[in-house]
């Protein structure tokens, strides 16, 4: 069995040997580059763009301004500003030239006339609606109330009530490879190579507005150096580049520089919660009332993040009375969207801060306080309608509690030596496997090698290896004979992609089902070669056998037999097909859960350091614990970065101050630390291979654990991230 083994990734070698092919590594003769002139004011009325000098610049092939398509929820004037500029970094003009340097030089000759308008950057100021972020538009672009029970009265009935402002700053989903796209025009059609999480979705959204200008669009995912949620939804640059290649009838490439990526890639998180929560003396929570403000930036495509955060807020706890008032507000900033965890890290940070703060207020041990309120039997439907399908919260918490007590003893020893140290524990419920379905094809080739094409589009997770494990087990063949490929709209019918920690469960199960169908095909074909009735045959260990006669034929032999006799007659009673496609989806999302424990020390300058770290998850069946652990390790470090260093900061004029890695703190190898990961396989999903996702879990579990540890180390209540050194000095 390969499933369950810690196999190394099949996909790593090409990257380790420098043979990866990212978009910018691809070269086509005659490729033109584009440079995007972006706004350097955050709010203005655009009156005129004069491009004459730029057009005459040697090497320039064209300039585009005012390009607009109708797409829901994108900024007014998308993909380029036309009459109103809404944020610094918004595209104003596009220069197409023989190379990127020429394009950038020509851009300097463009004259932009505008009248500045007051801008609003702070989401709470925006909520007041005194200054409009978008002219003629209410700043509150989204409003929704989630409510259950009678929270107002339940709060009044509490022995202890807390009232806190909890802030989760905006962050940059900093993938190693910035975004990039290459659109190749040929005979009225486009082949688009992109750094993306979903070629199929990209094809769909490009076709939705360019469909009348081209015959077809094929999207190929180039090797993609990470995405963390940020390369899924449509971007201005996708449309601009594809459009530029249509008008020039040439290949056109756009590659973001790092600083360009930081202002144009949708930022993540950006939520403020004003929370009131109450508890009884015995530690039972009475109610939570939360005003959730989502800092949407200049567009409204991020509202689903507030919905996820609101409905997941009660988390693993029995809280009957809850109300979340959601306000999505416009600000003159880069639009917001998902970043690894997408709404669940925000919900978890808020609820876990509440758990710790309430436990302090009722003077209870924070773990006992959690136990008092934890959901004890699953399935369980939370008051806002989310169904937690399977698992055992209490026993997992007991596991992490054990580590918590041990870390507490270590912290105590450190404190005796005068070192400021603290321990924090978080318990979280995840929501993943966002749907609706995924596809996979399994093809046995003439040489017996197996090609699996999955509709998911991994970009660092390692799903290719795990899917190969699943298929190799099911077909009973060596894993070396199984190749998994993905990321091309022309090689797989329809598909969705990689996001919402769904690839292993949905594409993995689709591959499992496709393999089962292939086994049925193999039996049918074997029947004629073994001169048996198909009912008599069994498929085991890569062979079809007839237990009665003892005759057998391997999958490889069948594949070879149906592809021999070049030029010969059709001799098959059965169609010689040894391939199958399957689609797999589930009725509902999955809800794995886990717990993180951190031991953190703060030195005399206020610099925090993680001394020890433990995480435990229940994601149902774990296909490859090495890959899952890799996800947790990366996620913990990202969660640490978000907790203590990462923040997108704007000045009062709307300039992005953290516009490069010189100003934006992102963890490096120097900030990593020891992480121990454990898993249990209790809460199975309903899929044939009963897995749930792990791709985002650690970014959800980490911030509340490390922030609690910091709070304990310095003895000061902490309610916003990133925690600033001067707060804990």
Contact 221, 490 (CB under 8 A): no
How far is it, in rounded angstroms, from Cα 352 to Cα 711?
A: 13
Q: Does 697 bind Mo ion (CB under 5 A)?
A: no
Where do we find the tokens 């055992």?
Answer: 392
Q: Which stretch binds ligand MCN (CB under 6 A): 155-163, 265-273, 286-294, 503-511?
A: 503-511
Among 461, 489, 581, 720, binds ligand MCN (CB under 6 A): 461
Q: Does 501 bind ligand MCN (CB under 6 A)?
A: yes
Q: What count of Cα atoms within 13 Å lies in the side-chain half-sphere of residue 683?
A: 26
Compute, in degrees rounded to 10, the torsion defined by CA atoms 714, 716, 720, 721: 0
Angle made by CA atoms 116, 122, 125, in degrees to the nearest 5: 90
Nearer to ligand MCN, 243 or 679 (CB): 679
How far is it, in rounded angstroms, from Cα 533 to Cα 256?
A: 61
Nearer to ligand MCN, 151 or 462 (CB): 462
345 binds, among Mo ion, ligand MCN, none (CB under 5 to 8 A by kind): none
Do β-strands 720-721 and 189-194 pair in parallel, antiparallel, or remain unpaired?
A: unpaired
Q: Does 634 bind ligand MCN (CB under 6 A)?
A: yes
Among 278, 458, 654, 704, binds ligand MCN (CB under 6 A): 458
Compute, in degrees rounded to 10, the torsion defined by CA atoms 204, 210, 214, 215: 30
311 binds, among Mo ion, ligand MCN, none (CB under 5 to 8 A by kind): none
Nearer to ligand MCN, 436 or 715 (CB): 436
Instruction: Please choose, from the candidates 600, 571, 593, the residue with its C-alpha nearest in 3D space to the C-alpha of residue 422.
Output: 600
Where do we find the tokens 């997992």?
Answer: 396
Sign of CA dihedral 584, 385, 694, 376: negative
Strand ordering across the sheet containing 84-85: 84-85, 44-50, 111-116
**Buried b or exposed e, range 107-132, using 16+ CB within 10 angstroms:** bebbebebeebebbbebbebbeeeeb
Question: Per CB under 6 A, which of residues 324..353 are in contact with ligand MCN?
Answer: 340
333 binds, among ligand MCN, Mo ion, none (CB under 5 to 8 A by kind): none
Q: Does 502 bind ligand MCN (CB under 6 A)?
A: yes
Nearer to Mo ion, 340 or 372 (CB): 340
Q: Does 229 bind ligand MCN (CB under 6 A)?
A: yes
Compute the least distance from the CB of residue 689 to ligand MCN, in Å. 8
Nearer to Mo ion, 532 or 590 (CB): 590
Instruction: Please choose, from the candidates 292, 159, 185, the residue with its C-alpha nearest in 3D space to the C-alpha of residue 244.
Output: 185
621 binds, among Mo ion, ligand MCN, none (CB under 5 to 8 A by kind): ligand MCN
Q: Does 499 bind ligand MCN (CB under 6 A)?
A: yes
How far is it, in rounded angstroms, from Cα 706 to Cα 331?
A: 30
Q: Which stretch binds Mo ion (CB under 5 A): 226-234, 298-306, 505-513, 626-634?
A: 226-234
Q: Token digits for 462?
A: 């390692």
Among 510, 619, 687, 718, binds ligand MCN (CB under 6 A): 619
Compute the least distance from the CB of residue 681 to ligand MCN, in Å. 9
Where do we find the tokens 């990470």?
Answer: 226
Q: Does 345 bind Mo ion (CB under 5 A)?
A: no
459 binds, among ligand MCN, Mo ion, none (CB under 5 to 8 A by kind): ligand MCN
How far is it, in rounded angstroms, from Cα 27 to Cα 445?
A: 31
Nearest-CB residue for Mo ion: 229
Compute, in degrees rounded to 10, the torsion defined by CA atoms 588, 589, 595, 601: -160
Ramachandran bin of 106, using left for φ above 0, alpha for ψ from -120 to 50, beta for the remaining angles: alpha
Among 62, 75, 229, 639, binds Mo ion (CB under 5 A): 229
Do β-strands 720-721 and 160-171 pair in parallel, antiparallel, or remain unpaired?
A: parallel
Binding characters for Mo ion, 491-530, by CB under 5 A (x = yes): --------x-------------------------------
Q: Which stretch binds ligand MCN (CB under 6 A): 84-92, 227-235, 301-309, 711-719?
A: 227-235
Among 195, 221, 334, 498, binds ligand MCN (CB under 6 A): 498
119 binds, among ligand MCN, Mo ion, none (CB under 5 to 8 A by kind): none
675 binds, among ligand MCN, Mo ion, none (CB under 5 to 8 A by kind): none
Chain residues in the site for ligand MCN (CB under 6 A): 175, 226-229, 340, 458-463, 466, 498-505, 619-624, 627-628, 631, 634, 691-696
Chain residues in the site for Mo ion (CB under 5 A): 229, 499
């Amino acid at each position: 069995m390969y499933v369950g083994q810690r196999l190394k990734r099949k996909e790593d070698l090409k990257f380790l040997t420098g043979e990866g092919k990212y978009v910018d590594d691809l070269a086509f003769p005659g490729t033109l580059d584009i440079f995007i002139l972006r706004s350097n004011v955050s709010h203005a009325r655009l009156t005129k763009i004069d491009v004459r000098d730029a057009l005459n610049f040697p090497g320039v092939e064209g300039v585009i301004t005012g390009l607009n398509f109708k797409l829901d929820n994108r900024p007014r004037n998308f993909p380029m500003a036309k009459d109103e500029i809404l944020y610094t970094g918004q595209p104003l003009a596009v220069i197409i030239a023989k190379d990127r340097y020429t394009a950038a030089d020509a851009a300097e000759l463009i004259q932009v006339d505008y009248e500045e308008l007051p801008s609003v950057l702070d989401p709470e100021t925006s909520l007041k609606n005194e200054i409009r972020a978008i002219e003629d538009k209410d700043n509150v672009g989204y409003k929704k109330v989630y409510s259950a029970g009678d929270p107002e009265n339940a709060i009044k009935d509490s022995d202890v009530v807390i009232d806190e402002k909890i802030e989760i700053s905006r962050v940059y989903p900093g993938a190693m490879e910035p975004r990039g796209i290459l659109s190749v025009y040929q005979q009225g059609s486009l082949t688009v190579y992109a750094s993306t999480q979903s070629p199929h979705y990209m094809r769909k959204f490009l076709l939705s507005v360019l469909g009348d200008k081209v015959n077809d669009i094929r999207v190929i995912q180039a090797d993609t150096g990470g995405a963390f949620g940020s390369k899924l939804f449509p971007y201005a640059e996708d449309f601009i580049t594809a459009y530029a290649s249509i008008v020039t009838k040439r290949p056109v490439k756009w590659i973001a520089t790092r600083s360009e990526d930081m202002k144009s890639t949708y930022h993540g998180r950006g939520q403020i919660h004003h929370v009131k929560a109450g508890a009884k003396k015995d530690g039972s929570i009475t109610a939570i009332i939360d005003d959730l403000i989502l800092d949407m930036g200049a567009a409204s495509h991020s509202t689903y993040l507030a919905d996820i955060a609101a409905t997941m807020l009660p988390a693993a706890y029995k809280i009957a009375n809850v109300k979340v008032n959601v306000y999505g507000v416009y600000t003159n900033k880069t639009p917001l969207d998902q970043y690894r965890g997408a709404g669940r890290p925000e919900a978890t940070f808020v609820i876990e801060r509440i758990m710790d703060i309430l436990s302090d207020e009722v003077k209870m041990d924070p773990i006992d306080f959690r136990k008092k309120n934890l959901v004890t039997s699953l399935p369980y439907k939370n008051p806002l309608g989310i169904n937690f399908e399977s698992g055992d919260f209490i026993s997992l918490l007991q596991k992490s509690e054990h580590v918590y007590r041990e870390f507490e003893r270590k912290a105590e020893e450190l404190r005796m030596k005068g070192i400021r140290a603290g321990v924090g524990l978080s318990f979280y419920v995840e929501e993943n496997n966002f749907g609706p379905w995924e596809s996979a094809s399994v093809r046995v080739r003439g040489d017996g090698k197996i090609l699996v094409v999955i509709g998911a589009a991994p970009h660092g997770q390692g799903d290719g290896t795990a899917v190969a494990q699943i298929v190799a087990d099911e077909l009973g063949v060596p894993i070396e004979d199984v190749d998994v490929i993905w990321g091309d709209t022309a090689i797989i019918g329809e598909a969705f992609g990689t996001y919402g920690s769904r690839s292993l469960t949905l594409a993995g199960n689709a591959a499992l089902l496709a393999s089962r169908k292939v086994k049925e095909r193999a039996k049918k074909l074997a029947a004629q070669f073994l001169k048996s009735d198909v009912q008599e045959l069994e498929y085991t260990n890569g062979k079809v056998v007839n237990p009665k006669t003892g005759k057998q034929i391997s999958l490889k032999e069948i594949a070879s037999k149906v592809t021999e006799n070049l030029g010969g007659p059709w001799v098959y009673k059965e169609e010689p097909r040894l391939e199958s496609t399957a689609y797999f989806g589930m009725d509902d999302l999955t809800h794995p859960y886990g717990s993180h424990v951190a031991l953190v020390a703060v030195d005399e300058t206020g610099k925090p350091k993680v001394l020890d770290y433990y995480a435990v998850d229940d994601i149902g069946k774990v296909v490859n614990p090495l890959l899952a652990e890799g996800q947790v390790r990366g996620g913990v470090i990202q969660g640490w970065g978000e907790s203590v260093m990462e923040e997108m900061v704007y000045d009062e004029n709307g300039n992005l101050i953290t516009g490069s890695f010189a100003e934006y703190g992102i963890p490096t190898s120097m900030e990593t630390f020891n992480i121990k990961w454990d898993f249990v396989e209790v809460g199975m999903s309903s899929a044939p291979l009963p897995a749930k996702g792990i791709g985002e879990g650690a970014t959800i579990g980490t911030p509340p654990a490390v922030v609690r540890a910091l709070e304990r180390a310095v003895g000061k209540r902490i309610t916003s991230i990133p925690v600033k050194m001067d707060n804990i000095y």
